[in-house]
Structure 1
């Protein structure tokens, strides 16, 4: 980039001073200072953007080389390259599942395997309660 952050400060101060001078006549002191602070921030940002554009116009090759150097990792540093490939495990998985499937099919020769829905055991069950007792509990919980 061309210049330094001091250029941004100078440009921001010029914008803030000009804004304070022109706002002094039509506004009070506090409002003029507030607007000059906003102008400083805006002019500081504009100067930064202006420096980036000017650097790209004057030295386009240098700007491109700096970006390329940031993107490419250094070859001499440890941990800069990571191998994210994993070995193929499909054969191992197939070998594990194959004997299990053969056991299930050998248990019922000649018959098609029927679908059986899962029937898990209940974790807990309540004894059957009287309807009036249940109604009383509901009334108590709802505040009725």
Structure 2
């Protein structure tokens, strides 16, 4: 922790020095000091945020991990499970029904339900004409 704090402070001081050097040429020393102090705080916070972001991306370190039981809790949200659940039961039943009919020697094609409109074609044409007029 002290190493991280030291890094943040060094980053803040570097921001202070750079801002003060480039600002003193065009401003009064008090204005340059004020801007340098603001830059120190901003650089400190940026270093902290970047370190936090890198730690979040890389995940927990092996040295910081505790027991094996708490390792599961620390790893929560870092592992992506790409396996899909077996929800294709209906498809599997159709395949098994086809294979059983093939064993009998009879070929029965799959007959999906047809999408048939029960509306009158004239009524549908009127609706399309009405929508295209607007």
TM-score by shorter chain over 0.5: no
For normalisation by structure 1, the TM-score amounts to 0.40
For normalisation by structure 2, the TM-score amounts to 0.43
